[in-house]
Structure 1
Amino acid sequence: MVKVGILGVGTVGASVANILERNADILEARAGKKIVVKHGVVQNMGKERGVNITLSTDPMDIINDPDIDIVVELMGGVEEPYALVKKALENGKAVVTANKALLAYHRYELQEIAGDLPLMYEASTAGGIPIIGALRNGLTANHIESIQGIMNGTTNYMLTKMINEGALYDEILKEAQALGYAEADPTFDVGGFDASHKLLILASIAYGIDAKPEDILIEGIEHITQTDVAFAKEFGYEIKLLGIAKKVEHGVELRVHPTLIPASSMIAKVDGVMNAVSVVGDSVGETMYYGAGAGGEATASAVIADIVDIVRGNHGPMLGYKKGLEGGSFELLP
């Protein structure tokens, strides 16, 4: 039996606990061992979580429990989860995280701390889309020529409404907030920062680049107007917020910004809160990955896939490299 502790039993954490219980039989058959959640940690014990697991407010109840094999970190934030994940790894526990901000700033430190211990993070980028596994494993034979994708569902929903229904930015932002797609302070999404964190994670796997959000161009959708939308349509284009990584002669370009895309292209047809990522390899050509980029069940699906891989022993090096690239990693270009 493999015992799991969940740091952060919110929407995603509750879905992880419930899916592990609901699909226990098929998961045991696929993993080869029974997987159970022993403990969960929350900030507010008074809030109903809808789970059948033991809860407390102290993360050390999980970190220091010798019976827990895998720590699932779903707290959000950067420095506090970094300290907890570091301690869990030092205590010999495998870790699964969905925390893109944590990885945007500390992925290389955590890789060094983890060593041969599993540290998995499929759910950190594009929700339920298995893009991390595709880059680390499925496309390992390729030099990656480019990555471009819709990596934030909130902004894609807003732009879709602006393009298809003529909605104004301020109106659709309020609607997105009412639907729960955007936070009360939407800057992280509409400013492009969420997408930048995901892009940096993918770029590390593709190119071995250790860059922070402050090192790359980030532009959001706050200044997109109906005039921009109409201009794009007139010339056969649509506007999408893309995260772009592109290999060029002397290095790699990384950027997040609104982009004019031919209306006939596949990625232009990705609407609403859905995500899509295109990866071009030198051998395979273009591959496309599409699906739900957020939501409790979709993200939990990716978390549990990582848990099952750990139980099976299928984890490999965290960022996909057993040794350094010959000649060093690619240079990040301005």
Structure 2
Amino acid sequence: MSEIAIQDMAASLKGRDFLGLVDYTPEEIRYLLDLAIDLKKKQKSGQPFQPLKGKTLGMIFEKSSTRTRVSFEVGMYQLGGHALFLSKNDLQLGRGETIWDTAQTMSRYLDGIMIRTYAHRTVIDLARGATVPVINGLTDRSHPCQALADYQTVLEQKGKLQGLKIAYIGDGNNMVHSLMMGAAKLGMHMAVASPEGYDPDPEVVKNSRENAALTGGSLLLTRDTREAIENADVVYTDVWASMGFESEQSAREIAFKNYQVNEEITSYAKKDYLFMHCLPAHRGEEVSEGVIDGPNSIIFDQAENRLHAQKAVMAALMS
């Protein structure tokens, strides 16, 4: 990408929301990935980069988190700004104030809003009411910041993304939705193996396949874990019962008993496959200890890159 194209891309991202990868072109996603890698190099070398000096990010947490809170708070500090933590008990939302009024009011105080919540509709309504950028820190439908960090990690490890195969084994949840859309936008081949009744959302599948057709990627849905994982460059899984679904734990343990990522099933992936998990993980449940703690695992590289990928998003949207 030429210097002029980079400048044009940077200008086009200022002030936008980051609600999902579906809203971004392949070129914009790649720009954010390259920016994340550049910001990581700057941070590792001690080179100051503070485009958000004097700016404040409001962080609304209706769902608790370790990685999301720490990475956004530290990232905002490193970019020269300030992050303000707001739990659901700190806001009038829990007492009946509308999303619109909250968004309008917070936009008068803040330069950006990050929200981690349950219903995806909440994020959409917040963005419609806000006059500052809104960043989706996680909803029940998508987790775009994690997916961006994941593809940054794969790019660093493999040197490319287009043409690689990523296999996801497990629940068709918010994580796989964002991974599918990212893979489609980046020209990757993705295979998803889920038990009956736990498939990804049909609308997300449709949108992902439409985007994959434009980039040379593909999307396979199957019940067969071996079919999904065969020749995979990347193997990914997540917990069987995500936050909010704890009451289904026993039923899900039965449904997913043949969907554990372990040494036997990963033997069908490429020898140099990368194992990924968005964390927190339940060893011995969705993944064996031998895989998650083995030589192919890059789970903590992923966790670190939440910091750098989110810094790229904040710098691009808020500077």
Establish whether TM, by shorter chain, passes 0.5. no
Over alpha carbons, which structure has the higher Rg? 1
Which is richer in strand? 1
Q: Could you state the TM-score of these two structures normalised by the residue count of structure 2?
A: 0.28
